[in-house]
Amino acid sequence: MIATLLFPISSIAQQDSYFSQGVFNSGYINPGSYGIDDDGQFCITAINRMQTKDMDGSPVTTVINVNGPLNFINSGVSISFFNDKIGFLQTPGFNIGYSYMIEMPAGKLGIGISLGMINSKFDKSDWRLPDGSTGDIALPINDVNATTFDAGIGAYYTHSSFFAGLSCLHINRAAVTKASKKTTFGRTFYVMAGYRFVFGFTDDYELRPSIYISTDLGVGKYSLNSHLFYKKKYWAGLSYRLDEAIVFNAGLELMKNLKIGYSYDYFTTDVQKYGGGAHEFLVSYRFSISTGKGNNQRKSIRYL
């Protein structure tokens, strides 16, 4: 399989999947952002990413995150489910999280933690060598399945026109052992920041430039983004991921509180010629849950 050759399964360290629309889903990567969205609602966000789909066994990643505020204790809560599949390697998992919100003179700061489990599976049921055989001394004789504990921390600050976040996932360097081979999920750091410029005669237009960085201090991805919103219901964006891709992004609000988004990565490397680009679909829905007294509403530039 081409994808398996490009992304070795026996690597010592494993990286998180990168989302081109990750800036729309801070609840997945930053525990400090849980419930800090100031409209006082819960939000469920689902992202599905299909990368280099023209390659056999190409990466497919799905994430579902639900997070929202508990205003009566100045807190936020979250639960996430995710599954990352590439070739014969599959990495599903989940985490739950908590954040505490601190009111500041200009804005709000959230500090949070996430705890969960990661499962790593290797399924060789469909493995075939060019001669049709299934044996390979470099592979486990049987399917393997291992689970490990995982943790992350984060801080997220927001006010009416600015946001910034810093987080670290896999802070405990979660590790699983499969067929005598140890795979470690290296600490991954995320940096997010953005600003909101409002213009037009009726303030219908908003320009939201932002940066989005993920790195394990060995390999990093650096993205510059710009999104233009109209009446907060329609948006289009363009991003540049350093030395990797140009990303086209668009979305709209189908009905009240229900939004969808789509992005296409055009790779600026040889991957584009052999495997095509990456497609990413996003669905977001907001809903209210009565959690006791307290509202504390204010404007926010959180996108979804």
DSSP conformation letters of 101-163: EEEETTEEEEEEEEEEEEEEEE--TT---TTS----TTS-SS-EEEEEEEEEEEEEEEETTEE
**Residue 239 maps to a domain:** no
Q: Indicate whether 292 pLDDT > 90.
A: no
**Residue 242 maps to a domain:** no
Q: Indicate whether 139 pLDDT > 60.
A: no
CATH number at residue 148: 2.40.160
**Residue 10 maps to a domain:** yes
Higher pLDDT, 258 or 9: 258
Higher pLDDT, 291 or 275: 275
> Would you say 284 and 45 are in contact if contact means Cβ atoms under 8 Å apart?
yes
What is the pLDDT at residue 298?
Answer: 47
CA dihedral 181, 48, 303, 292 (to 10 degrees): -80
Higher pLDDT, 211 or 160: 211
Q: Indicate whether 2 pLDDT > 50.
A: no
Q: Indicate whether 168 pLDDT > 80.
A: yes
What is the pLDDT at residue 275?
Answer: 76
Measured distance CA(61)–CA(15) in Å, rounded = 13
Q: Indicate whether 10 pLDDT > 50.
A: no
What is the pLDDT at residue 49?
Answer: 93
Measured distance CA(159)–CA(107) in Å, rounded = 4
275: containing domain:
2-127+144-178+255-287
**Residue 301 maps to a domain:** no
**Residue 238 maps to a domain:** no
DSSP 12-38: SEEPPP--TTGGG-HHHH-GGGTT--T
**Residue 79 maps to a domain:** yes
Measured distance CA(81)–CA(94) in Å, rounded = 4
What is the pLDDT at residue 4?
Answer: 40
Higher pLDDT, 283 or 184: 283
Q: Indicate whether 5 pLDDT > 50.
A: no
Measured distance CA(156)–CA(165) in Å, rounded = 4
Measured distance CA(217)–CA(212) in Å, rounded = 15
What is the pLDDT at residue 88?
Answer: 77
**Residue 219 maps to a domain:** no
What is the pLDDT at residue 203?
Answer: 86
Q: Indicate whether 133 pLDDT > 60.
A: no
CA dihedral 171, 176, 180, 181 (to 10 degrees): -60
Q: Indicate whether 79 pLDDT > 80.
A: yes
**Residue 169 maps to a domain:** yes
Lowest mean pLDDT among 98-112, 213-227, 269-283: 269-283
Q: Average pLDDT of the chain? A: 83
The secondary structure element, H or E, covering residue 255 is strand 245-255
Q: Indicate whether 90 pLDDT > 90.
A: no
Number of domains in the chain: 1
pLDDT > 90 in the chain, percent = 52
pLDDT tens digits for 18-69?
Answer: 888 888 889 999 999 999 875 788 999 999 999 877 677 788 999 999 999 9
Lowest mean pLDDT among 3-12, 154-163, 269-278: 3-12
